[in-house]
Amino acid sequence: MNDRRCPRCGAVYADGARFCARDGSMLAEVQAGSGGTAVRTPPPSPKALDRAAGLSGQLLDSRYQVLKKLGEGGMSYVYLAKEIATGQEVAIKVLSPKLASDKSSVQRLRREAGLAMRLDHPNVCRIMRLGESEDQLIYLVMPFLKGELLSDREVQGGPMDLSTGIEILRQVCAGLNHAHELQIIHRDLKPENIMLVAEDGQPERAVVMDFGLAKERRADPAIAKLTATGIILGTPEFMSPEQIRGKVLDGRSDLYALGIVAFEMFTGKLPFQGRNAQEMMIARLRGQPLTLRQLRPDIPVSIERALTRVMETNPEARFATALEFAEALTAPSPAAGGIFEKLKEKLT
């Protein structure tokens, strides 16, 4: 495995760490004997970039009619498409050619997409297919869900009322528990990866997205190496301390991220303060989060205690499972009237 070096302080890490434990800087990979030169992947051709970014109105792999682009990011382009054979609307995530040209990243994606295909739960968006077109575009096919991202709901509506927020958290916990029982962790849980789906005549449903970038918890050494040398996973504002340090993760890391998501849902702010993502990462390694009731005095003490526990720096001090966290969130509280009893009935 290649070493990784902090560009700010020069510290070298050899255990697959992503960020410097001293100052939170993202580490750069250096190859043994390279004199500290970062390894760079050859850039993809302009034609490949144009093809991946401009699929709207085209036929993909002779089986999907691409209708329109839904969004794009540093890792992929997302399209709405129709499967020709069935007429079903699907969402297709096309891997950026910048990553598709990296063999180790593609190997990791194939492995982890295969894991995500095992997921089958109403609060998880499953992956239907991993494909590769004749012109070597690598893509994931998922059900097309009509709804609103939790991040958009927060921007438009501000801090959530207690009952709505807890119901969303309860459903996310149910989806995470299903994944964790299959030894799969998400690694990048955040409001942008939670969809609030509204279906005709049905209550709103929270669905955890992007398990295609998940990682099997009990990975063998070969898979661990692929992950360490492949795509950088995780969003700095929501990473657990152990993920920042590049340690082995389990489901409790997802619960930590969900605690930060919950704090932001109820307050509109992050529990760790800093002028940038790096400072907030350092705060998670060295400091204590704001308490929920500092910003929302109307929130019951039981909810504040649950969030404080799930965001403990030491994973051993957190809830052991997502269902335990959900149970703590729905524990009866005199200050909350009958809200918790109703939510607990749904949980059981």
What residue segments make up the domains of the chain, in order of their start?
1-40, 46-143, 147-347
% of the chain at pLDDT higher than 70: 74
Output DSSP code: residue 191. G
Measure the CA–CA gap between 249 and 131, rounded to whole angstroms: 28
Is 157 a residue whose pLDDT tops 60? yes
CA triple 231-144-163, angle to 5 deg: 90
Which pTM value belongs to this model? 0.75
Measure the CA–CA gap between 288 and 263, rounded to whole angstroms: 14
Average pLDDT for 36-55: 57
pLDDT band at 23 (very low <50, low <70, confident <90, very high): low
Is 94 a residue whose pLDDT tops 80? yes
pLDDT band at 34 (very low <50, low <70, confident <90, very high): very low
Measure the CA–CA gap between 161 and 264, rounded to whole angstroms: 12
Tens-digit pLDDT profile for residues 270-279: 998 888 877 8
Domain at 46-143, CATH homologous superfamily: Phosphorylase Kinase; domain 1 (3.30.200.20)
Q: DSSP of 126-163, one letter per residue? A: ---EEEE-TT--EEEEEE---EEEHHHHHHHH-SPPHH
3-class state of residue 336 by DSSP: helix
Q: Read off the tokens for 52.
A: 């991946």
Q: What does the pLDDT read at residue 254? A: 96
Q: What does the pLDDT read at residue 277? A: 74
Measure the CA–CA gap between 152 and 51, rounded to whole angstroms: 29
Domain at 147-347, CATH homologous superfamily: Transferase(Phosphotransferase) domain 1 (1.10.510.10)
C-alpha dist (Å) from residue 266 to 34, 156, 209, 283, 313? 49, 14, 21, 21, 21
Measure the CA–CA gap between 82 and 66, rounded to whole angstroms: 6
Q: Which amino acid is present at 134?
A: E
Q: What does the pLDDT read at residue 346? A: 53
Give the residue numbers marked as catalytic: 188
Average pLDDT for 279-286: 83
